[in-house]
A and B are shown apart, each in its own frame.
Chain A
Amino acid sequence: MQLKIQYYALMREQAGRSEETVDTSAATPTDLYGELTARHGFTLTREQLKVAVNSEFCDWSRPLSTGDAVVFIPPVAGG
């Protein structure tokens, strides 16, 4: 299935892009983060991140479906 991934901040720099479309069999955000870390060498651990699917925070075990937009959220630092 195809997923759209958007990257921000440190992860955008490490991926070398702000978004990409991936063809994957990852069933959940946990699986997907493992795949993308292998490809891009992300240094943040899954425990340091939150995840959003279709612009809403969600659980790491949420089932993914084709067309979903996934964003991994590094530790925030507003203000």
Chain B
Amino acid sequence: MRFRFTQSAIDTQSARRELLDLGAGGYVSFEGWVRDHNEGLEVTRLEYEAFQELAIKEGERIIAEALRRFPVKHALCIHRVGSLPLSDMAVWVGVSSAHRGEAFDACRFIIDEVKHRVPIWKKEHYRSGDSGWVNCERCAATPAHAHEHA
């Protein structure tokens, strides 16, 4: 599977090995980390939840699109689910290719599409004791802005 979920820490060394190719001149990866703030609020941890059956299908479609659009060798995306403390890695994307340009482009494409299309949700827990589902609660008053989070 080129898109998958894990409940435990993402093993990037093992994931990277899946991208090895004698024709590849390098690889590009992206790591998404849990940060301590969002939209002016202090975040203490995140909870990720996914509709895994559809998320895996949609994630695989994104990887297949990336392999069609960019002349790269291999691509892989792994996403965490569950409760994550600050600085934990929530998502990892890796792409290997003959030359670096297309690897950067494909990696960017994959993470952007995953954020917009794959049924994964995150709940932020704040220092104040409150919590909220990102894009579902505080943004409900301004829906036009609902899909523009980094």
Contact = CB atoms under 8 A, between A and B. Distances in A.
Instruction: Decide if A and B are genuine partners.
Output: yes
B45 interface: no
A47 B143 contact: yes
B62 to A, nearest CB: 11
B57 A73 contact: no
B146 A75 contact: yes
Interface residues on B, range: 20 to 34
Given A76-B120, A77-B121, A79-B32, A10 B51 contact: no
A43 B133 CA distance: 12
A9 B49 contact: yes
B123 to A, nearest CB: 7
B134 interface: yes
Nearest to B132: A10
Given A10-B133, A48-B143, A78 B49 contact: no
Given A48-B143, A77-B134, 13 more contacts: A10-B136, A44-B136, A44-B140, A47-B143, A56-B54, A73-B119, A74-B133, A77-B149, A78-B48, A78-B114, A78-B120, A79-B32, A79-B115
Interface of B: 32, 48-51, 53-54, 57-58, 79, 90-91, 111, 114-123, 133-137, 139-140, 143, 146-147, 149
